[in-house]
Amino acid sequence: MRIGIIGAGTMGVGIAHAVATSGWDALVVEPDATQRGKARDRLDEVISSGVTRGKLTRAEADAALARLAFHSSAAELPEGLDWIIESVPEKLELKRTVLAEAEQRTPRFLASNTSALSITSLAEGLSAPERFVGMHFFNPVWSMKLVEIVVAERSQDAAVKAAVDAARGMGKEPIVVKDAPGFASSRLGVLLGLEAIRMVEEGIASPEDIDKAMTLGYGYPMGPLRLGDLVGLDVRLAIAEHLSQTYGERFAPPGLLREMVAQGKLGKKSGQGFYSWS
Ligand SMILES: NC(=O)c1ccc[n+]([C@@H]2O[C@H](COP(=O)([O-])OP(=O)(O)OC[C@H]3O[C@@H](n4cnc5c(N)ncnc54)[C@H](O)[C@@H]3O)[C@@H](O)[C@H]2O)c1
């Protein structure tokens, strides 16, 4: 398979890694020359570290590196790729423009890696919306197994099946989800995180003990408050605000979350959240 990836930021690099180490060609589009150089270096570093960690032989790593190509615009992509996966910043109009450009390259299928935008709404303006789905990868892509395949109103079964097969081919575990705000992962994960914050607010237990309830009692790999600190509390607040527009009160951001964000307590990236990260 030959897969185009548009946008070589955090996620585009991860997707390119998954594609190239699965034996497929990864054609990466990144208009920013500095970012393009960084993406190339990062992929080199991560693929080579696979050799150190015993995941790949040197020959496999070299073959994966040889399957990477870098371009400065979507117009440079060859026609007829199996997939083009868009992973540019989370802005509706930018994504629509990029998807329309991608479609000009006549890929068999087209996907967006959006975390929160409606796939149905992104499909407006496409001439073949039936070949378009969401493929929501998780960060860091090299260690997270999940891909949410998001089915828009006009996505056809053939596109959904091809996305499931492509995700499995990249060593991922796909789930198929109807296009609705928060898909499956954010809708459940954010709800748990918000309830945990309400419990801190009510003085039910310390953040550490609330997290332990989930890690030691329920076998979660990480508690919801620690995870919120890692994701960024500002990001959590934005998602809660977005989801509360559709799902109402149960996603309303707790006052404590708003206060912490206003005070610059954003979690790991600012050094302080529910935990101290200094
Ligand atoms: N970061 C995460 O944890 C995460 C997880 C899942 C999904 N996502 C989603 O993935 C997408 C990308 O997120 P990211 O964190 O990688 O962002 P990022 O800012 O790290 O990377 C985006 C890249 O797109 C490039 N870009 C901008 N305009 C472009 C254009 N017209 N054509 C091609 N490239 C262009 C930028 O230069 C940048 O390198 C977003 O939709 C985001 O919601 C992010």
Read off the pLDDT of residues 65-112 as tens digits, 9 standing for 90 and up: 999 999 999 999 999 999 999 999 999 999 999 999 999 999 999 999
- In the chain, how many H helices and how many E strands? 11, 8
17 and 149, same domain (yes or no): yes
Residue at which a domain ends, from 155, 178, 201: 178
- Closest residue by CA, ligand 1 atom 7: 115
CATH number, domain at 193? 1.10.1040.10
Confidence at residue 116, expressed as pLDDT on a 0 to 100 scale:
87
Number of the ligand 1 atom closest to the C-alpha atom of 10: 16
| pLDDT at 278 exceeding the cut of 90 | no
Average pLDDT over residues 132-145: 96
Read off the pLDDT of residues 21-63 as tens digits, 9 standing for 90 and up: 999 999 999 999 999 999 999 999 999 999 999 999 999 999 9
Ligand 1 binding pocket mutation candidate from 5, 87, 177 (most atoms within 8 A of CB): 87
Residue at token pair 């929501």: 136
Split into its structural domains, the chain has a count of 2
Ligand 1 binding pocket mutation candidate from 73, 115, 117, 236 (most atoms within 8 A of CB): 115
- Closest residue by CA, ligand 1 atom 27: 88
The CA–CA distances, whole Å, from 64 to 67, 68, 95, 164 equal 5, 7, 28, 22
- Closest residue by CA, ligand 1 atom 8: 115
169 and 240, same domain (yes or no): no
Q: Which structural domain range is residue 6 located in?
A: 2-178
Query: Cα 174–145–107 angle (5° rounding)?
Result: 55
32 lines ligand 1 (CB under 6 A): yes
Q: What is the identity of the amino acid at 8?
A: A
Specify the 3-state DSSP secondary structure of 246.
helix
